[in-house]
Amino acid sequence: MTTAVADPFYRPEETTAAEAIAAIGEELAVFDDWMERYQYIIELGRKLPPYPAGWMDEAHRVIGCQSKVWLAAEWRAGALWLAGASDAAIVSGLVALMLRVYSGRSPEEIAATDPAFLRELGLIGALSTNRGNGVAAMARTIRERATMHGRAAQAASPEP
């Protein structure tokens, strides 16, 4: 009997990046202080789909993060699906937030979704400089992969 392997790619409940950002803002607003928000973010990281150990390599590593962060991307039916993990609990939660906003979106939607939402939600200001730089590196990596996939899809499309 074969055991089914869980899909490691994150499937957000919200249908758009804007809806995901709004929902995250509402969820964070429930908490009175940043310690409670951090605990909530850590819990989000614990709920990420299992990330394959074989993908925890340099090819999937996000450069610029103080902690180890790995991201994988897969192009499916016009959308970029993302999987991610970190070796640090709070960073795993930040990965979960990023995947919630960007996974399952078209390259155009990803490009149009400025990571400024992180600052607007107060996340960047509440993090250490190194963690803030790491989140920015994650956003940059996701957006670069979306741009690459978008260009590849365009190149593969026949001319009208």
Q: Is 98 a catalytic residue?
A: no
Reduce the secondary structure of 5-26 to three states and give it as a string: CCCCCCCCCCCCHHHHHHHHHH
Q: Which among 17, 44, 48, 65 is annotated as catalytic?
A: 65
The residue whose two tokens read 């190149």 is: 155
Cα–Cα dist 150/111, whole Å:
10
In angstroms, the CA 143 to CA 160 distance is 27
Q: Where are the alpha helices (DSSP H) in 68-156?
A: 89-102, 107-112, 117-120, 123-126, 129-156
Active site residues: 65
